[in-house]
Structure formats: C-alpha cells, structure tokens
Amino acid sequence: MNFSRTHWLALVGTLFLFSSASAQEGVADTTQDEADVWAVVEEVWNADENGDREWIDRLLTDDFTGWNKNTPVPRNRASIKMWDRFAEQEGQLVAHELYPYRIIVRGDTAVAHYLYSSAYKATDGTISRSNGRYTDVLVRTDDGWKFLAWHGGDDE
C-alpha cells in the first residue's frame, strides 16, 4: 500500500487523538481513585471521633497489620479492636484535622502519606493535643478501598 504524506499525517493525528483520550481517561481514573482512597482515610478518623466502633470490621482487611509508633510490635485487626475498646474507656478523640501529602495509586493498591493534628479528651476532662504523620496502604476490594497496613503516630 502506498501512503502519501497527507495520509500519514492523518493516521498519526488519529493515533495521537486516541492515545491522548486514553491517557486522559487513565488520569481521570487515577484522580477518582485518589479521591476514593482519601475518603476512606477520612472515614476512619471521623468514625473514631464520632464513637463508631464498627469501622475496624468495615475498613480493615482480614489480614491487616498496622504499626503505630507507640506500640512495640505491629498489630493485627483483633489487636486494634481490643486496644480501641480500651482507649474508649480512657477518653475520646474530640477534634482532628488531616493534611494529605501524597496519594499514589497503582492498580488495586494505594499508599497515602499525610499529617494530622488531633485533640483527645480524657475521662478526667483534660485535653491533650498531638501532631503526627501516617503512611497508609490500602487495597481495592469488592467492598471498596480497605486498609491493609499503616505506620505512623505522634511526632512528640
């Protein structure tokens, strides 16, 4: 087949349009995934502040392992649940603000880096404030994004 210069330019232009549209679609998907991941991160903090104790079963994978900087070893889902019940007896998170730093999504895995400020009210009425950072690893499931792991805690 003999193509003229005009035919080649038309072919290249058509391919460019298709590849550009595919790239934009991929960017839109990534942006939506990042927003969905961030919504789950916020959901955990809001659930804790609102006294919702079901978030552990709802938002952590069965094989979850997380390591807070203040714990001697990583904790599984059952351990998180036990310590969450204990913390509820000691007081409650009363305010928080999250500062997203970076969210990276690759396929069905996401990493979210962020900073936080929080206020915790003990049962005796004293309020303590803290600042810290977390790195969360989430995976896409049939039920949406869930936490597979995290690491972080207070900077103090």
d(CA 33, CA 103): 9
pLDDT score for 130: 95
> CA-based diameter of the chain, in Å?
86
Per-residue pLDDT of the chain (156 residues; tens, 9 = 90+): 454 444 433 433 433 333 444 444 445 577 999 999 999 999 999 999 998 989 999 999 999 999 999 899 999 999 999 888 888 888 999 999 999 999 999 999 999 999 999 999 999 999 999 999 999 999 999 999 999 999 999 987
Closest CA to 67 of 57, 78, 76, 56: 76
Beta carbons within 10 angstroms of residue 55's beta carbon: 19
d(CA 46, CA 92): 12
For the chain, the 3-state helix, strand and coil shares in percent, each to the nearest 5, are 40, 45, 15
pLDDT score for 28: 57
Residue where the block lists tokens 């900087």 = 69
Phi (first) and psi of residue 66, to 5 degrees: -130, 145
- Read off the tokens for 90: 């000691």
pLDDT score for 45: 96
pLDDT score for 81: 92
Closest CA to 141 of 81, 67, 58: 58
pLDDT score for 87: 81
Beta carbons within 10 angstroms of residue 38's beta carbon: 18
Residue where the block lists tokens 């597979």 = 148
